Amino acid sequence: MAISVVCDNCGKRLNVKDELVGKKVKCPSCKTAFTASPSGALRVKKVEKGKSSGAVAISWGFVSMIALGVAGVGFVLVIVFGPVRAKNQWDPMAAKAESDIRDVVQRGLEVQMERSNLWSPGDKGQAPTVHEVQMLWDMMVMSLPEHIKFKGTTTEGAYTGTYNTKTLEVNAEMELGGHVVAGTGAIPGADDATRHGDTKFTVNGWNKDGDFKVWVDGTPAEFKTSAPKRNRDKAALPVAPGL
């Protein structure tokens, strides 16, 4: 331990050892001898060589924990204000989107089959049918995408496309000439229940606010023939009793 004393001549503050208190010492600054008086002296700790008395120790482990905490909070905020918000915007639209896709795809399939002389609205038997619509939602989108992909199957094969969340327009690429049994999966395989169609055609359109429009390969999806009207049963005339 050292003691701080002041030179009587020049006033310079010096640090001297405890055992020199009360004894004559020479000031290294003015070379004057004076008595190292303990009066008013301040005890100071000896500073180790190579170390600063004002140094502050830093725990890198603690710093790493803080950094990880900040990163975790940031990640949660990104998820909440990104994918979660986008999904919440999409959910109220999902049911209508699937309905619109089914309507447009169904009309396009029927018209294309009539154009190919494979079916007409007046035919008996099973009509072409849309089996399923599957929306392909991306869980990592940061905002509601303008186009959402979808896929599905009909009695004639598979189809894929996009749904425009702004214009509500459906764009699909479809198959004709295949065979898919309902419930056998969205992508036809090689078994007897599923077979890809060998003809491809495009369908686009929308169904919004009562405005239902569909195009097949760029031309309006209109039937050449209409379904026959059902004949109403004629009311039976009363039979006059015999005389």
| 198 or 29, greater pLDDT | 198
Strand (E) positions, the chain? Answer: 2-6, 13-17, 24-26, 33-35, 42-44, 130-136, 147-154, 157-164, 170-176, 179-180, 194-195, 199-208, 211-216, 219-220
Say if 7 falls within a structural domain: no
Is the residue at 147 inside a domain?
Answer: yes
Q: Residue 111 domain-assigned? A: yes
Task: Please state the domain count of the chain.
Answer: 1
Q: What is the pLDDT of residues 50-86, one digit of tens each?
A: 555 455 566 777 677 777 776 666 555 555 555 888 8
Q: Tens digits of per-residue pLDDT, 104-134?
A: 999 999 999 999 999 998 888 788 999 999 9
Mean pLDDT, residues 3-14 taken together = 81
Strand-pair partners of 5: 14
Q: Is residue 27 part of a domain?
A: no
The secondary structure of 130-196 as a DSSP string is: EEEEEEE--TT-SS--SEEEEEEEETTEEEEEEEETTT--EEEEEEES-EE-TTS-SS--SSTTEE-
Q: 158: domain range?
A: 64-220
pLDDT recorded at residue 112: 96
Give the mean pLDDT of 137-161: 92
Is the pLDDT at 230 greater than 60, yes or no? no
